[in-house]
Chains A and B, each alone.
Chain A
Amino acid sequence: MSNCNVKIKINGEVIEKEIESRWLLSDFLRDKLGLTGTHVGCEHGVCGACTILLNGEPVRSCLMLAVQADGLEVETVESLAEEDGTFHPIQQAFANNHALQCGFCTPGFLMSVKNFMETHPELPTDDEIREAISGNLCRCTGYSNIIKAVKDAYVLKC
């Protein structure tokens, strides 16, 4: 109906809330839960800034209703670093390689890359990396440092 209850495991914590069923997952995360690391750049599925992991897979949170995530598991950029603040290897690699400028697109890239590395355990080629991040737009960096960072993340991970 026009309101509904959702129960979503977000970054390891089960959240239960009543929301309007038309609310987008991106807005739910940002406005209702304060998880503003997930950014919104286009709200029509092209820019990738809102990319999160749903049951471990990258999806556009602007192209999902929050209620569609009911009963599922969501990971956002806020879940990446360790509790003591230590970077996840992908974050470290981005910092090492100047893979961000304004940083607006960055959370989306990090989430896409996390899934990519999990599903491609062997060091990929540049072209494979390019393809993997081609669903995320960055207007600042021109991508080449992001590609370097992804390769670096493979090194840091082991």
Chain B
Amino acid sequence: MKQFVGQNVKRKEDYRLLTGSGKFVADMRIENMVEAAILRSPYAHARIRNIELSRAKNYEGVLDVIVAADLKGKVKPFTEFVEFTLPPQLEADIKPTIKKNPEPMLAEDKVTFVGQAVAIVLAEDRYVAEDALALIKIDYEPLPVVTDPYETIKEEAPVIHPELGNNIQSYFEVKVGDIDHAFRQANHILKTRIKTPRVSGNPLETRGVIAEYQERNQQLDVWSSTQVPFMVRSYLSKLVGLVEGNIRVVAPDVGGGFGPKCAVYPEEIIIPYLAMKYKRPVKWIEDRLEHMQSTRHSRDQVHDVEVAFRNDGTILGLKDQFLLDNGAHNSFALCCAYNSAAHLRGMYLIPNYDITGRIVLTNKTPNVPYRGAGRPEAVYVMDRIIYMIADKLNLDPVEVSLRNFVRPEQMPYETGIFYRDGANMILENGDYVKSLQQALKIAGYDEFRQKQEEARKQNKNIGIGLSSYIEGTGIGPFEGAAVKVDSTGHILVGVGSSPHGQSHETTLSQICADVFGVSPEQVSVRAGDTSLLPYGVGTFASRGAVTAGSAVHGASKQLKEKFLLITGEMLGVSIDDLEMYGGKVYLKNSPSKFVTLQEIAQAAKPGPRCKVPKGIEPGSSATYYFVPPTVTFSSGFHVAVVEVDKETGFVDILRYIVVHDCGRVINPKIVDGQIQGGVAQGIGGALYEEIIYDKNGQLVTGTYMDYLIPTAMEVPEVEMGHQEYLSPHNPMGIKGVGEGGAISPPAAIANAVCDAMRPLKIEINTLPISPNKLRSLIEEAERTESVLK
């Protein structure tokens, strides 16, 4: 029997996307629709004294202009996102301080970041709506602005939300072992500050919402470019006071998400509300300028680390105090910050660990998780430290890594802390030493050292850098799947996850097809639609394959069992005598005696001819919710080989290698595609991308001319190696792969650049490694060297 899991099945999504017949939110038009444009704050911090709307309202083609006052009593403000609150065990363990700090729908009397929504124009088309935006007059009284995380925690800093008392929104500590003892035992102590800047996920499709309300049956249909349609539905119902069952939220084709589309935005509540209020469909498509300002950013962590180690490179303890600058709001509890704390030690043992995280607020766009969600920051810290230790001890960094790995014989390894889902954080399996060796072999590490020597003689600076990561993937709380066989024998799968490039229609049909022994062609997968299932979660945090995959697997198996029971009834035999393959159920050992899925589906219909055994519901469908016991850990190694133009400071990536473990591979090409794409984003973070604000809180990188997303000229082809340690936490052994590619490139590339410049000693502890920055580091190191001489 041919198995499709593990095969390069071609993508089902591709036909429509390649012929231009896909449907993204912006592609939809509804009869009688109006279009919205949003006026956004030009100030980072200001009081709104007065709003003058009459000219805009009277402009030809304008339906209305809406401000915060119009929503009063109609649309409740956001509370916090309960989906992100801490499980009780974790809460009890780390006893965090988390002040509630939800974002308003529209700014009312005050704006706290540039880009915050203040007013919405509804008009016949977007051109007219934008004309009217220019006619709105707002009288702002500028307030003092704070954009620096260290400034904002000072006592004299302007307090952004006076009700919070100060700008420190959250605080927590995680401790393992006896850190003071570890520091007393050490031969060396190293102290440094390592910073990952603010970046933006920047999916190529911006956000967008269309809503249509039918008074006839109070049905509200919403199409949104989101990763979490169920969450949008839930908040719409809560905040506008609607019957949840009357709301359908659909994420049609979605042009990338990467995290920023992974929670509800004010527009997703207001636009549907306005469609109800004005009884006309309303469409709002974010433009790229709005996107840069108002779609939530990410990263922006500064770590002050101290590490204690022995002469042989063994790390005894690590202390870290870090700040996460979350911009003007944080509605996500400790999400990224705790991820950083939990992942910082990565694959390394480090028995004594003491980390303090503070989430601080500034007059910038709020932050959310973005591909990697707290791990790229942590890995950048940890792997820079490995290189700094190696430098200090004059060892090869590989040696320092090997000295500190969790060994295969220690697996499953208890890390001594809780994961974000409240379970004990346990690294379940894998062999880090072997993976590293595989990566080094592909890279030709030993030969490279020789080549490097020769290159140095010719004044060429080439270097090699490594980074490793572990990642808790497939977080709960659950994901659902409904599988049914229709009366033509075709299998339909509906899932609660919501893809935006991850190929669910293909991979999930492979999983289902294998259970029924049919071709994936016979399976259709639908996703991103709240009408498919009562509950669903979404696609983020490398969870799609793990959770939705397991749910599809479970639902398919249940339906298969039921179909065997029905066949038993149809043929009058025991189900032990039956087997299913090739889309048919056979009497064992008699290949001519079978019934088809179509016949079984028909026999499952309620009524006099129903063959469903007594005590079981009629029908040819099954729904299953997969509830993972906890996350499952993927892992990997990245190796970057670079050449530095010492004179200009430009970095060229010559080779990039990834060896990774994502458990069972459902579709190799798709897995490789996720890695390659993740690495491209990681390279962006390493060398090009940075969201920059000036002192007044104005966004300096507000266009694609300033926010530099890598092109095909900047991204090399990643050479890959695979390890397959099956996950024990789900039936198929899947581990998540969506984010891994993006986690390690900053660390690997920074290490490679430092390595290339040796014997000159430079430390790259901030990103991106722009040519200007690298040149400054080189000049500084050369100055220091000449002083020493």
A and B touch in their complex, CB below 8 angstroms:
yes
A interface residues (Cβ-Cβ under 8 A, vs B): 20, 22-23, 27, 30-31, 34-44, 46-47, 49, 76-78, 80-81, 85, 87, 91, 94-96, 98, 100-107, 110, 129-131, 133-147
Knowing A139-B709, A145-B676, the reply to whether A105 touches B204 (Cβ < 8 A) is: yes
Cβ contacts A to B, 18 pairs, < 8 Å: A35-B20, A42-B288, A47-B204, A78-B21, A95-B15, A96-B10, A98-B11, A101-B677, A102-B203, A102-B501, A103-B13, A104-B204, A135-B711, A137-B204, A139-B680, A140-B673, A141-B680, A146-B712
Knowing A30-B27, A46-B704, A87-B18, the reply to whether A147 touches B127 (Cβ < 8 A) is: no
Knowing A41-B288, A142-B679, the reply to whether A104 touches B24 (Cβ < 8 A) is: yes
- Apart from A22-B127, A131-B712, list 14 A-B contacts with CB within 8 A: A39-B205, A87-B18, A87-B19, A95-B11, A95-B15, A98-B673, A101-B673, A104-B205, A136-B712, A139-B258, A143-B715, A144-B715, A144-B717, A146-B712
A102 touches B205 (CB 8 A): yes
A101 touches B502 (CB 8 A): yes
**Chain B residue with Cβ nearest A129:** B712
A139 touches B21 (CB 8 A): no
B717 touches A98 (CB 8 A): no
**Chain B residue with Cβ nearest A78:** B20
Q: Is B254 located at the chain interface by the 8 A CB criterion? A: yes
**Chain B residue with Cβ nearest A138:** B204
A77 touches B19 (CB 8 A): yes
Residues in A neighbouring B741, C-beta threshold 8 A: 142
B717 touches A147 (CB 8 A): yes
**Chain B residue with Cβ nearest A34:** B29
Majority SS at the chain A contact face: loop
Knowing A20-B127, A142-B677, A142-B715, the reply to whether A44 touches B20 (Cβ < 8 A) is: no
B interface residues (Cβ-Cβ under 8 A, vs A): 10-11, 13-24, 26-27, 29, 125-127, 202-206, 253-256, 258, 287-288, 500-503, 669-670, 672-673, 676-681, 703-705, 709, 711-713, 715-718, 741
B18 touches A103 (CB 8 A): yes
Residues in B neighbouring A107, C-beta threshold 8 A: 20
Of the residues A36, A41, A134, contact of B27 by C-beta under 8 Å: A36
Residues in B neighbouring A87, C-beta threshold 8 A: 18-19
The CA of A62 and the CA of B53, in the complex, are separated in Å by 30
Residues in A neighbouring B500, C-beta threshold 8 A: 102
Residues in A neighbouring B713, C-beta threshold 8 A: 130-131, 134
Knowing A22-B127, A37-B19, the reply to whether A134 touches B14 (Cβ < 8 A) is: no
The CA of A103 and the CA of B254, in the complex, are separated in Å by 9
Specify which of B10, B14, B27, B125 lies most central, judged by the most chain A CB atoms within 10 Å of its CB.
B14
The CA of A2 and the CA of B312, in the complex, are separated in Å by 77
Report A37 CB to chain B, min CB distance, Å: 2
The CA of A12 and the CA of B654, in the complex, are separated in Å by 45
The CA of A145 and the CA of B715, in the complex, are separated in Å by 12
Closest 10 interchain pairs by CB?
A37-B20, A104-B255, A103-B17, A102-B501, A142-B680, A101-B501, A36-B27, A46-B704, A142-B676, A77-B20
B715 touches A80 (CB 8 A): no
Residues in A neighbouring B256, C-beta threshold 8 A: 101-102, 104, 139-140
B679 touches A102 (CB 8 A): no
**Chain A residue with Cβ nearest B709:** A137
**Chain A residue with Cβ nearest B668:** A98
Of the residues B14, B26, B503, B681, contact of A139 by C-beta under 8 Å: B681
B18 touches A94 (CB 8 A): yes
The CA of A41 and the CA of B291, in the complex, are separated in Å by 10
The CA of A19 and the CA of B126, in the complex, are separated in Å by 15
B19 touches A101 (CB 8 A): no
The CA of A46 and the CA of B502, in the complex, are separated in Å by 25
The CA of A10 and the CA of B26, in the complex, are separated in Å by 21
Residues in A neighbouring B677, C-beta threshold 8 A: 101, 139-142
The CA of A110 and the CA of B501, in the complex, are separated in Å by 18
Report B125 CB to chain A, min CB distance, Å: 8
The CA of A38 and the CA of B501, in the complex, are separated in Å by 18
The CA of A79 and the CA of B521, in the complex, are separated in Å by 26
Specify which of A30, A41, A102, A146 lies most central, judged by the most chain B CB atoms within 10 Å of its CB.
A102
Report B508 CB to chain A, min CB distance, Å: 15
Residues in B neighbouring A38, C-beta threshold 8 A: 20
A23 touches B502 (CB 8 A): no
Residues in B neighbouring A142, C-beta threshold 8 A: 673, 676-681, 715, 718, 741
A91 touches B203 (CB 8 A): no
Report B466 CB to chain A, min CB distance, Å: 20
A140 touches B501 (CB 8 A): yes
Residues in B neighbouring A81, C-beta threshold 8 A: 18-19
Residues in B neighbouring A146, C-beta threshold 8 A: 712
**Chain B residue with Cβ nearest A96:** B10
B14 touches A95 (CB 8 A): yes
Report B653 CB to chain A, min CB distance, Å: 12
Report B203 CB to chain A, min CB distance, Å: 6
